[in-house]
Amino acid sequence: MATHDWVTGYTGYSTEHEIPKGMVGYLYRYFDTSSTNMTGSDVYQIFKMGNGVMPVNVYTYVATVEGGVATLDIGDGASTARYETDADINAAGVTKSFDATTVYTGDDTIDIIPSATLNAAKFWVVIEYIRLTT
């Protein structure tokens, strides 16, 4: 199992913006595993979370299915499946997870961990968040 820093090292991403306290923000990232494969069980850090940020909704939109049994977990440094456990990458459409129980008190990353190597799927991960402190 390897860890990959895709917070800034991969195309098709957005980064957390310093939005004012109490405002809602969105982070989104597109993954085309037909051009950049993802290895099963590896950790892909995709978004940075800062102090005082509370994710409220996590969405996964699968545009092109993988074609084999494949899922992914969405979590962070404290819990690898905090936001999503076994999101099905073989079902086209949108899934929504909800977890408004975490307010980050320091820097962390939102991570995805595929259960198997992905080499065909095309999908988005979207995080809706609120900044509670400045």
CATH number of the domain residue 117 falls in: 2.60.120
**Number of structural domains found in the chain:** 1
Q: Provide the phi-psi class of 12: left if phi over 0, else alpha when psi is between -120 and 50, else beta.
A: left
53 neighbors 87 (Cβ within 8 angstroms): no
Query: Higher confidence at residue 14 or residue 65?
Result: 65
The string of pLDDT tens digits covering residues 27-82 is 889 999 999 999 999 999 999 888 899 999 999 999 999 998 899 999 999 999 99
Kindly report the pTM of this predicted structure: 0.90
Collect all residues with Cβ–Cβ distance below 8 Å to 13 and sequence separation of at least 6: 6, 7, 28, 29, 30, 46, 47
Q: Which amino acid is at 5?
A: D
44 neighbors 123 (Cβ within 8 angstroms): no
Q: Which domain holds residue 81?
A: 3-131
